[in-house]
Structure 1
Amino acid sequence: MDEIIPHRGYKKYGAELITNMHHYRVEIFNQVVDLTIQEMDNRFSKASTELLGCISCLDPRNYFSRFNDDQVIRLATLYHEYFSANECSRLPLQLSNFIANVRCDPQFAALCNLGDVATKMVKSGKHLVFLLVYRIIELALVLPVATASVERAFSAMKTIKTDLRNRMGDEWMNDSLIVYIEKGLFSTIDNEKILQRFQSMRTRRIQLPPL
Structure 2
Amino acid sequence: MTSLDIAFMTVLWNRILERFDKTSVKLQEKSLDLSVAVKLLKSLREYIGSIRNNFNDIEKVALSLSKVISKKLEQYNDLDRKFGFLTYFKSITEKEIVDMAKNLGKIYPDDLDCDIFPEEMIHFTKLVDEQDEEGKIKMPSALKCLQIIHDNKLNSVFRNVEVAYRLYLCLPVANCSAERAFSKLKRVKDELRSTMKNPRLNALSLMTIERSLLKEINTDEIIVKFQKKKRK
Q: Same fold (TM over 0.5)?
A: no
Question: TM-score band, normalised by the shorter chain?
Answer: 0.3 to 0.5
| Higher helix proportion (structure 1 or 2) | 2
TM-score of the superposed pair, with normalisation by structure 2 = 0.40
TM-score normalised to structure 1 length: 0.43
Q: Highest relative contact order (Cα 8 Å, sep 6+), 1 or 2?
A: 2
